[in-house]
Structure 1
Amino acid sequence: MGDVAMTVPVLQALTQHYPDLKLTVLTRPFFAPFFRDLKNVEVFAIDLNKQHKGIFGLYKLSNQLKALQIDAVADLHNVLRTKILKLFFFGKKFKQIDKGRSEKKALVNGQNFHPLKSTHQRYADVFKALGFKLSLDSPSFPSKKTLPEAILKKVNNQNTKQWIGIAPFAQYTSKMYPLDQMQEVINVLQKHYIIFLFGGKADQAKLDSLAANSDAVINVAGQYNLNQELDLISNLDVMISMDSGNAHLAAMLGVKVITIWGVTHPYAGFAAFNQPKSYNITPDKMLYPKLPTSIYGNKYPEDYKNVAGSIQPKQITEKVTAVLNA
């Protein structure tokens, strides 16, 4: 999800630089709402379970895409499926992302600890290779959306307070801040702010415990569809997220994002878009010299599994206060 969300500010810049350019985004149907605010952008929903499954399904997909009379293909994923599609698009201009795998391997191995090119810039480079040079330096974002009435009722008369989103989950536990420490963060912030807790439907019960006995903490996990969640996120004053999709959802909407890191690191190029480096809270590299242990959080020494917990709740609450008061 994060990879898809990171394409949005790049496509926004592209359509601004080239207003006559028509874009068709090939992605899973669930992600279609990500692109709802982009002009001249349509979503072609891929059906990987049935219609477009396997090589024959991809061949059928290629014919459907050719019927759109596309002039070029920007492959922002560069995986086996898109490599196969490239074969079917023989004769069409087809450029693929350079994921910088060797650079990332050197970063993880500790051979070269320095910031790598951002994923957003890698996406932009694909369009540059197609002849569409663009800059990400002066981004624009959609306006705040009207909130569902159900959310406004939950806020009641506290809507004059600033709103904080907290998304405490990630694909791997090695990227998560311990929930007991997140509870400490919430206990401090709820005194001054309204807090919305984000997660999947399966996370609802866990988040209920974090929101217990407080009118200022609202669990929205599993309560709304994706469009409604994006509407809510657009109204936040800041999002606190792990190195996960919610950080990129908030950033693509122009919301300030404070990201908490575990075994991964912003140097790998997956930091949230258009955020100051100081908004990334990372464990102490002096105490944990092997960081980052992996790019995605799936590989780590056992004693690094809970490294995110070395970040004190006070560090997070003080950062939030500083960002909201800036």
Structure 2
Amino acid sequence: MGDVAMTVPVILALIKQHPEVKITVVSRSFFKPIFEQIPELNFLSVHTHHRHKGFLGIFRLYRDLKALGVDEIADLHNVLRSKMIRFLFRMQGKKTAFTDKGREEKKQLTRLQIKTIAPLKTMTQRHVDTFKQLGYTIHFDSSWHLPKQTLSRAVSEFTGAKTRPWIGIAPFAQHAAKTYPIDLMQQVIEGLVHQNVQVFLLGGGRHEAEILEKMAQMGSNIKNMANKVSFEHELELISNLDLMVSMDSGNAHLAALYGVDTITLWGATHPFAGFAPYGQPEENCLVADREQFPFLPTSIYGNRVVPGYEDAMRTITPAQILQKINSNLNKAIGI
């Protein structure tokens, strides 16, 4: 989800600066609600479990795109399936380009030794470079956001009226190495129970929903939204938040798309790899202590477990997170 979200600001800038270009986004149907908020583009759903499954499915996808009159391919994912689509179009004389993900640079960033680290190129800038290969120069900054959405009845029935700041907390990530310990996250939520804020807990799946439901019992201003509304309606809620607290995960990137102030917590991964939420200041990224854990970052995606580094995220204290939350909220309301 994060990979998909980071393409959106670049596509927004491309559409506005090159209105003569007709854009078709090709991705899983689950992500369609994100792009439906951009009326100038088309969306083609990829069904990898039936119509577009396997090699024949890739050829069907090629034919589907060809039927749309596609002239150029910008491969922003650069994986086997997209490489094959790229190859088929290139064989027909069509212009193609792909995003260089900087895999060698990232390998150096995560090597297991004491090191000095420096920021790599952001993924959004890498996508800008991809379109430049196709001849489209994009003047890119941090101002390309999706508009805040109007809350539908389906969402407002859960949220109620907005009478105080809304904070979203997304305490899970795909991998344990970049998930803040649940007992510490409970302390963060305890610190918000008696404040004049409304907290929405975000997650998905049965196991996450059960944990969040228990957390929601901690106070009347804590609401569990996991599995309560559709993804489309969850985007409505996220767009109306005043603050998001998230792991290095998809929810952080979704919030940033709407210009929501987004605080992220980093364990095995690090914002210097280029995956920090779009447009967010560096100080909104709370990272594990590299003095205690000098090999950090040890992974780009959080799927690499390094013995002895399991508790790296515990060096980010609940007090630090609460201080950052309150500081950012105070700035937002002018205190």
TM-score by length of 1: 0.96
* Counterpart contact for 2:169–2:202, Cα < 8 Å: yes
**Which aligned pairs between 1:146-157 and structure 2 lie closer than 5 A?**
146-149=150-153, 151-156=155-160
Structure 1 stretches of at least 4 aligned residues deviating more than 6 Å after TM superposition: none
Letter in 1 for 2:199: I
Identify unmatched segments of 5+ residues in structure 1.
none
Separation in structure 2 between the aligned mates of residue 229 and residue 207 of structure 1, nearest angstrom: 16
**What value does the CA root-mean-square deviation take over the aligned residues?**
1.4
Q: CA deviation at 1:301?
A: 1.5
CA distance in 1, matches of 2:183, 2:290: 23
Q: By how many angstroms is 1:155 displaced?
A: 4.5
Tell me if the contact between 1:62 and 1:88 (Cα under 8 Å) persists in the aligned partners: yes
SS in 2 for 1:302: coil
Distance (whole Å) between structure 2 residues aligned to residue 151 and residue 92 of structure 1: 44
| Candidates 117, 130, 134, aligned match of 1:130 | 134
User: In 2, Cα distance between the equivalents of 1:60 and 1:152?
Assistant: 41
Between the aligned partners of 2:155 and 2:233, the Cα distance in structure 1 is 10
Choose the corresponding residue for 2:306, options 301, 306, 320.
301
Q: Which amino acid aligns with 2:252?
A: A
Pairs within 5 Å for 1:205-220: 205-220=210-225
Name the counterpart of 2:109: 107
Confirm or deny: 8 A CA contact 2:190 2:218 kept in the other structure: no
Partner in structure 1 of residue 274 of structure 2? 269
Corresponding residue number in structure 1 for 2:3: 3
Q: Is the 8 A contact 1:71 1:93 kept in 2?
A: yes
After superposition, the Cα gap between the structure-2 partners of 1:137 and 1:212, relative to the gap in structure 1 and judged at 3 Å, is same
Shift of 1:149: 3.1
Give CA-to-partner distance per residue, 1:142-171, whole Å, 9 cap, x none. Answer: 3322223354344456x3210100000000
For 1:94-243, what aligned pairs fall within 5 Å after superposition?
A: 94-109=96-111, 110=113, 113-149=117-153, 151-156=155-160, 159-192=162-195, 193-202=197-206, 203-243=208-248
Q: Do residues 34 (structure 1) and 38 (structure 2) align?
A: no
Q: Deviations over 1:21-56 (max 9, x none)?
A: 210001000000111221321110011111111111
Q: Unaligned 5+ residue runs, structure 2? A: none
- Residue 317 of structure 1 aligns to which amino acid in structure 2? L
**Quick one: distance in 1 between partners of 2:313 and 2:152?**
34
Write the deviation string for residues 158-217 of structure 1: whole angstroms up to 9, x where unpaired: x32101000000000110111111111111123221000000032111101111142100
TM-score normalised over the length of structure 2? 0.94
The 3 A distance-change label for structure 1 pair 136 and 191 is farther
Of 302, 313, 316, the residue aligned with 2:321 is: 316
Partners of 1:13 and 1:139 within 8 A in 2: no
Hey, what does 2:289 align to over in structure 1? 284
Q: Distance in 2 between matches of 1:113 and 1:142?
A: 32
Instruction: Give SS of 1:195's match.
Output: strand
| Cα separation, 2, equivalents of 1:151 and 1:76 | 32
Q: Contact (CA 8 Å) 1:55, 1:84: kept in 2 or not?
A: no
Instruction: Count residues with an aligned counterpart.
Output: 325
Rounded to whole Å, the distance in 1 between the matches of 2:147 and 2:249 is: 23
| Amino acid corresponding to residue 287 of structure 1 in structure 2 | Q
CA deviation after TM superposition for structure 1 residue 138, in Å: 4.7
Q: Percent identity?
A: 46
Q: For 1:99-130, what per-residue CA distance to the aligned partner results, in whole angstroms no more than 9, with x for missing partners? A: 10110011011566110000111111110111
Change (3 A) 1:50 1:156: closer
Which 10-residue stretch deviates more, 13-22 or 315-324? 13-22
Q: Which residue of 2 aligns with 1:22?
A: 22
Using the TM superposition, give the Cα deviation of residue 136 of structure 1 relative to its aligned residue in structure 2, in angstroms. Answer: 2.2
* Contact residue 202 and residue 225 of structure 2 kept, 8 A: yes
Give the Cα–Cα distance (whole angstroms) in 2 for the partners of residues 238 and 81 of structure 1: 36
Matches of 2:154 and 2:44, distance apart in 1: 31
Query: 1:56/1:208 Cα in 2 relative to 1: closer, same or farther (>3 Å)?
Result: same
